[in-house]
Amino acid sequence: MTLVKSVLAATALALVTTTSVFAQRTDLVLGVVLEPPHLDPTAGAAAAIDEIVYANVFEGLTRIGPSGEVLPALAERWDISEDGKVYTFHLRQNVKFHDGTTFDAEDAKFSLDRARAADSTNAQKGLFAAIDTVEVVEPLVLKVTLKNPQGSFLYNMGWGDAVMVAPESAATNAEKPVGTGPFKFENWARGASITIVKNPDYWGEPVALEKAEFRVIPDAAAAVPALLSGDVQAFPMAPVGEVLDQFKSDPRFEVVVGVTEGETILTMNNGKEPFNNLKVRQAISHAINRDEVIVGNGMGGLGTPIGSHFSPANAAYVDHTGTYPYDPEKAKALLAEAGYPDGFTATLKLPPPPYAREGGQVVASQLRQVGIDLEIVPVEWADWLSTVFKEKDYDLTIISHTEPNDIDIYSRPDYYIGYQNPEFNKVIEELGLTADEAKRNELYAKAQEILAKDAPVGFLFELPKIGVWDANLEGMWHNMPVQANDLTKVKWKQ
Amino acid sequence: MSAFLARRLLIGLVTVIVASIVVFAVLEIVPGDPALLMLGMNATPEALATLRSQMGLDQPIPVRYLSWIGGMLMGDFGRSWTYSSPVIDLIVERGIVSLPLAVISLILSTAIAIPVGIFAASRRGRAADAISMGATQVGVAIPNFWFALLLVYVFAVWLRLLPAGGFPGWGAGIWPAFKALIMPAIALALPQAAILARVTRSAMLEVLGEDYIRTARAKGIPRRKVLWRHALRNAMIPVLTILGLQFAFLLAGTIIIENVFYLPGLGRLVFQAITQRDLIVVEGVVMLLVASVVIVNLVVDILYAVVDPRLRVKA
């Protein structure tokens, strides 16, 4: 009898404990497709690094918010001199790195100098190119002098590549990241998962989650059962493709389709016949039916059509999808005018992501309609970077440019697209010198229009961010203005 | 016996050396610049040059080959470019997942296959034979990743008895770690068991037709004893051959199953390293696998000699 009673009591106790734990759930398992090679965002281009550490473990002087806006981070406020060349950052007090050392202007100077040093392997060294000198004025005041005014400087300082690191731990951040963020790195089971835990000594608003685990699930077929079984409660970039509808109709899950900064384009080799001919590029633009490409893009038919190299989520966005509407007859006429009445043949190199491999099939069949015969060549990512991007050995390719606000790539000398237009370069140059928001938007509009008309590439669609997570989860980012999974506002509903 | 062993060892050594040259050469030819891959599309040329020299990629090819081989002989497999940790640590981390998985699968498949094969052979042509061979036919035909997904949907999504995938690490306790390996092991073992059962059956049938079996039966030795003691031992040669091949496959060829269950095993390490052009890791793991295949073959050769004393003389 006593035995039965105690068993019952134990069961009841167990039930009570389970329920109370459930009510204040503070742990989270997120799925990520790619494992980061290491965890130092200042020493590699892999988006997978920022997707774990940005805003969670590391913070910069400024940061990018959920809508792509620049917000104060470790710099509480800043003054900009009249000529736009001197930035004085006032740093926050009582900020500590996870190893207990204090963050001050010396650390900030160290971080910036390290990133722009001659032997630096920062993947976005260009962000720091305008910096002339960095000085410590007071323990918490940092003065950065630029060589010339740069409109995007505060935005640049918000990138993951510009986060603040400590001299004591910078060398070992790759394996054991030490930042100032609301989460501390706890464990990395290589190939399996990365765990971060709440930082009790955080300077700002404490996070609701005690523990977050990023579990590496590279296979789409595995991602679906991982979510369904509850092993993983959130997939910020869910590789679920055609199965998306199953999650949409399941009340246990929330499906959020947002935008990224990924302009997906059919790049034409402008430095090569026949793509150096504007009429040919116009013909190709007219031959593309964006809606059909989106339906077949391997991402559940989601994505926003674009007509220039700009994110529709950005305030300065102008819709140019009507510049060269789908019109196969006109495409044929333009080809004939350009001297290709019977069309031509070319290769289409496709990197591994589904938007390229599957979307590429649709693009190839559309171009075949107007007489352009494409030979599809699937390439690995490493191969794409070497042969297409570096050696410019290609005719056509499909790729998503995921860096935020990267319209300036068309002005880069010797870039793989091979587009050259002094008028466009002048706009970008002016943009670099302009800090005024309204003036900047005007210049952005001008740049978008030039590109839309010149059609250096076939503009396809903005890559969607397909997030699937437990319906009880709050505070996940809907869009992806920077490559990040910011968990600072994430919590379970009570 | 020692001459036999010495010859086998020499052959193994030559295989390893030839493999090292082939592996190194192939990876040199594969397009893709590892430094560019790490720094991405916005990398400045000077950042690329700095990284390339840090990685030692600016050295001539023969120098790199020799320093790689020399390092390995000293037990130094080098340092991963992308993970920036020693290759040997990565191999050990993954090996403690792959090796137990391979062993469990092998035990499971042997435990299923050999009794089934013997049973089918002993009832040749009867219903039991037809049913078990029909089942193995299905086992051979079903792709293991499909079977794995089926297991996941039944035991993880529907019954919620086992995790859908992942590996908590041995540090989380033997039972949770073992639980994570159950479904992958079954998914790997069943198709292997199907093949092994068929091989066992046909080897047994061949032996059962021999004169000495009839003699043994005529002497009055019980059927069961004849099967297990006289027939099985002589049918072991082809079975051992297949087992050796299967073990080698299980060590590295499990990439698909590792992906379905997102297990951090050796197969995925190689796959990831290839896509990231982390050549030093690819080279290290491939060489280790070559060595283990050579060793497994050596062990199988020795086992041949153990089960069949005639082979010791011939060699």
Residues A276-313 have pLDDT tens digits of 999 999 999 999 999 999 999 888 889 999 999 999 88
Kindly report, residue by residue over A388-419, the tens digit of the pLDDT.
998 899 999 999 998 888 899 999 888 999 99
User: In whole angstroms, what is the distance from residue A128 CA to residue A132 CA?
Assistant: 9
> In this model, does residue A18 exceed pLDDT 80?
no
B239 and B125 assigned to the same domain: yes
B82 and B92 assigned to the same domain: no
Element (H, E) at B144: helix B144-151
CB contact under 8 A, A174 and B84: yes
B4 touches chain A (CB under 8 A): no
Q: What is the pLDDT of residue B314?
A: 53
User: In whole angstroms, what is the distance from residue B27 CA to residue B132 CA?
Assistant: 45
Min Cα–Cα distance to chain B from A44, Å: 5
A389 touches chain B (CB under 8 A): yes
B57 and B101 assigned to the same domain: no
B12 and B131 assigned to the same domain: no
Min Cα–Cα distance to chain B from A123, Å: 5
pTM of the predicted model, to two decimals? Answer: 0.84
Q: What is the pLDDT of residue B79?
A: 84
* DSSP, res A487: -
**Residues 6+ positions from A422 with CB-CB distance below 8 Å:** none
Average pLDDT (B11-25) is 91
Q: What is the pLDDT of residue A121?
A: 83
**Residues 6+ positions from B70 with CB-CB distance below 8 Å:** none
Q: Considering only CA atoms, give the Rg of chain B.
A: 24
Q: What is the pLDDT of residue A1?
A: 39
Kindly report, residue by residue over B21-69, the tens digit of the pLDDT.
998 888 888 878 888 888 887 788 888 888 888 888 888 888 888 888 8
Looking at beta carbons, which residues of chain B come within 8 Å of A231?
A: 156, 163-166
Kindly report, residue by residue over A55-96, the tens digit of the pLDDT.
999 999 999 998 888 999 999 999 999 888 999 999 999 999
Amino acid at A172: T
Q: How many independent structural domains does chain B possess?
A: 2
Mean pLDDT of chain B: 87
B248 and B118 assigned to the same domain: yes
B154 and B296 assigned to the same domain: yes
> In this model, does residue B297 exceed pLDDT 70?
yes
CB contact under 8 A, A124 and B156: no
How far are the Cα atoms of A37, A377, B30, B36, B271 from residue A383, in angstroms, in the given order? 18, 11, 8, 10, 15
**Of A261, A240, A260, which is closest to residue A250 (Cα–Cα)?**
A240
B45 touches chain A (CB under 8 A): no
Domain of residue B46: give its range.
Answer: 2-87
The residue of chain B nearest to residue A408, with distances taken between CA atoms, is B42
B97 and B45 assigned to the same domain: no
- State what percent of residues in chain B have pLDDT above 90: 31
* DSSP-derived secondary structure for B58-86: TS-HHHHHHHHHHHHHTT---B-TTT-SB
Looking at beta carbons, which residues of chain A come within 8 Å of B29?
A: none
Which of residues B87, B119, B150 is at a domain's end?
A: B87
Which of residues B45, B67, B87 is at a domain's end?
A: B87
> In this model, does residue B13 exceed pLDDT 80?
yes
B105 and B71 assigned to the same domain: no
CB contact under 8 A, B38 and A119: no
Kindly report, residue by residue over B242-271, the tens digit of the pLDDT.
998 888 888 766 888 988 898 999 888 888
What ipTM does this complex have?
A: 0.79
Mean pLDDT of chain A: 90
> In this model, does residue A47 exceed pLDDT 80?
yes
CB contact under 8 A, B47 and A121: yes
CB contact under 8 A, A230 and B165: no
Using 50, 70 and 90 to split pLDDT, how confident is the model at A12?
very low
CB contact under 8 A, A45 and B38: yes
> In this model, does residue A151 exceed pLDDT 90?
no
Using 50, 70 and 90 to split pLDDT, how confident is the model at B199?
very high
We report the CATH number of the domain holding residue B204 as: 1.10.3720.10
Q: What is the pLDDT of residue A13?
A: 44
Average pLDDT (A214-239) is 91
Strands (E), A3-61: 27-32
> In this model, does residue A51 exceed pLDDT 80?
yes
> In this model, does residue A21 exceed pLDDT 70?
no
B176 and B83 assigned to the same domain: no
How far are the Cα atoms of A305, A310, B104, B164 from residue A445, in angstroms, in the given order? 17, 9, 63, 49
Which of residues B87, B106, B138 is at a domain's end?
A: B87
Kindly report, residue by residue over A311-332, the tens digit of the pLDDT.
988 889 999 999 999 999 999 9
B145 and B277 assigned to the same domain: yes
> In this model, does residue A7 exceed pLDDT 50?
no
B161 and B12 assigned to the same domain: no
**Of A39, A37, A41, which is closest to residue A161 (Cα–Cα)?**
A41
**Residues 6+ positions from A219 with CB-CB distance below 8 Å:** B259, B260, B262
> In this model, does residue A380 exceed pLDDT 60?
yes
B109 and B170 assigned to the same domain: yes
Kindly report, residue by residue over B132-173, the tens digit of the pLDDT.
999 999 999 988 889 999 999 999 999 989 998 888 888 888
CB contact under 8 A, A192 and B269: no
> In this model, does residue A371 exceed pLDDT 50?
yes
Q: What is the pLDDT of residue A14?
A: 45
User: In whole angstroms, what is the distance from residue A328 CA to residue A379 CA?
Assistant: 29
Q: How far apart are the first and last CA of chain A?
A: 38
Beta bridge mates, A166: none
CB contact under 8 A, A219 and B260: yes
A10 touches chain B (CB under 8 A): no
Q: What is the pLDDT of residue A16?
A: 43
